[in-house]
Amino acid sequence: MTDSRENLLRLNAALDGELGPMEQAAFEREMRDDPALAAEFARLSATRDAIQRAIPREKAPADLVARIAALAEPPSATVIPFRPPTPAPQARQAWSARGALSLAASLCVLGFAAGIALTSLRGLPPPPGAETALVSDFARAAIAGQPYDVASSDRHTVKPWLAGRTTVSADIVDLAAQGFPLAGGRVSVIDRIPAPTLVYRHNEHFVAVTELPAGAKPGAATVGVETIDGYHVARWSSDGLDFVAVSDADEAALGDFVAAFRRGKPHSAE
């Protein structure tokens, strides 16, 4: 390091108040005795002032401040209650004759019964892993008539809601133009880890896409569309992240969705 470079570092440190008291005192003494040093210090100081004028500290935009303040609000302020006791129409019909059970209880029982029925009808044990859990989630949500926990087509609402409850920060892709408007989000639990699920609408159907937590046990590790318990399931990986999409729409629609979702990923290579 040259002397002049050392000198420049010291000038900057003096300007930034970073010299220790002894160094600072010595520097001030030198400046008194050396007009050239004092002039150099003045120039550096002028440069610094000009930099601060050119790139001032700016105020954060109000809507950004509001969005971030919302992150600190308790969940109840922005969130639709989890599984409200409002029944799906067909559930009310099926159970009104019994009359004895509460509606909420009836939904749980119906969902459970339907799950067993679907499983046993197929006669084969379901594949283990995330897909099965997500299909159950989807079936539960469809039967309860409550496909999401937070209903919003605004990614700025859904993303922070999910981020506050899961371990990954979901990238939300806008697919309204491709016929899959965002309907909301919900939390799925896979291997006891909460994972973000985005729910898109497609005509009268839904597509629920879940970003699997790292380390989640894969089931059948196929990439493509398969059928589990009458629902279409697609699994794929993108940038090291694993996704599973479950839908009650037909296979072709799910294929279109997956293609659009992968294309829409901001960091996808495709």
Partner 1 sequence: MTERDPGTLARARFAEIVPPLLDDAYSLAKWLCRDGSDAEDIVQEAALRALKALETTVVDKPKPWFLMIVRNAAMSFMAKNRSKTIAYAGDMDDLDALGPQDGEAPPSAEETLIALEDSARLKEAIAVLPPALLETLVMRDVNGLSYREIADATGAPIGTVMSRLSRGRASLARTLRAEG
Residues within the interface to partner 1 (CB under 8 A): 2, 4-5, 7-9, 11-13, 16, 18, 39-40, 42-44, 46-61, 64-65, 67-69, 71-75, 156, 159-160, 163-165, 167, 169, 266-267
Q: How far is the CB of 68 from partner 1 (least distance, A)?
A: 5
Q: How far is the CB of 229 from partner 1 (least distance, A)?
A: 33
Query: Smaller CB distance to partner 1: residue 143 or 187?
Result: 187
Q: How far is the CB of 156 from partner 1 (least distance, A)?
A: 8
Q: How far is the CB of 261 from partner 1 (least distance, A)?
A: 17
- Rounded Cα gap, residues 38 and 178, in angstroms: 66
Rounded to whole angstroms, what are the CA distances from 150 to 11, 57, 75, 89, 155?
Answer: 56, 36, 10, 21, 11
Query: Smaller CB distance to partner 1: residue 106 or 152?
Result: 152
Q: 192: Cβ–Cβ under 8 A, 6 or more apart, which residues?
A: none
Contact 229, 135 (CB under 8 A): yes
Q: How far is the CB of 40 from partner 1 (least distance, A)?
A: 7
- Rounded Cα gap, residues 142 and 247, in angstroms: 10
- Rounded Cα gap, residues 253 and 204, in angstroms: 12
Query: Smaller CB distance to partner 1: residue 115 or 164?
Result: 164
- Rounded Cα gap, residues 122 and 167, in angstroms: 34
Greatest CA separation for the chain: 101
Closest CA to 130 of 193, 216, 207: 216
Q: How far is the CB of 28 from partner 1 (least distance, A)?
A: 19
Query: Smaller CB distance to partner 1: residue 61 or 125?
Result: 61
Contact 150, 161 (CB under 8 A): yes
Query: Smaller CB distance to partner 1: residue 24 or 86?
Result: 24
